[in-house]
Amino acid sequence: MKNPCLRPSRTLKIKNCLRSLTLGLSSLAMIIALNAASIPSAAASASAAGICPSLLNQSFPKLQDDSAQSLCQYAGKVVLVVNTASYCGFTSQYDGLEKLYSQHKDQGLVVLGFPSNDFSQEPGTNQEIAAFCTNTFAVKFPMFAKTNVKGPKANPLFAELSRLAEPPGWNFHKYLIGRDGRLVGSYSSMVGPQSRSLRRDLDKALAAPAAIK
């Protein structure tokens, strides 16, 4: 006769079953976590593959802290790119640009400011430029670190905009990019933020649906 003490009890069997089930669930949770971690990488690959328009598929350091900012975050918006300077006869256009941004940002407009000393009117550091923009004009639209906007040293965005249209002839030249990531128009410093021609093109661009290709 077999010793009943050697027989596994019902309770022990249940415990073993629960232990196996727990291990199985732990493995499943690990697989799910690994798959979830790969989602951002997949999103980045999709962006590089063409979701972000080529004109915006680049990054620049932020004026305030030099942190890299991808222009892909503005895909699907209407973008007004402007080269700026603190000591220029057109510097007061900061006020009009900020008003334009404030009025239309909820409709999808973003103004991007790129300070430049290419015309010898922006000698300050990034910190000095940031303080000037904030304290003098209460600028809230995105501003980027001081850069070159014309000639062989022009940053990639301005190099491409110059190829598509014309290089900046002076500070506060403006380029309007539609929701589809294509250049809509180029405007000289003489064309102010509230000018009829710019506002006409801006209103039309804001009314267009996004169609990123």
Which member of 17, 52, 72, 88 is catalytic? 88
The DSSP-derived string for 122-177 is: --S-HHHHHHHHHHHH---S-BB-----SGGG--HHHHHHHHHS---SSTT-EEEE
pLDDT above 90 for 41: no
- Residue 212, in any domain of the structure: no
Residues paired with residue 166 on neighbouring β-strands, in sequence order = none
Selection from 187, 152, 194 nearest residue 173 by Cα: 187
- Is residue 104 included in any domain, yes or no? yes
pLDDT tens digits for range 195-206 = 999 999 999 999
Q: Which range of residues forms the domain containing residue 22? A: 9-50
pLDDT greater than 80 at residue 33: no
pLDDT tens figures, 116-150: 999 999 999 999 999 999 999 999 999 999 999 99
**pLDDT at residue 212, rounded to an integer:** 47
pLDDT of amino acid 20: 56
Contacts of 92 (CB under 8 A, 6+ apart): none
Q: Which two tokens stand for residue 50?
A: 């063409």
Per the annotation, the verdict on 17 as an active-site residue is no
Indicate whether 4 belongs to any domain: no
Structural domain total, the chain: 2
Backbone φ, ψ for residue 122 (5° rounding) = -140, 70
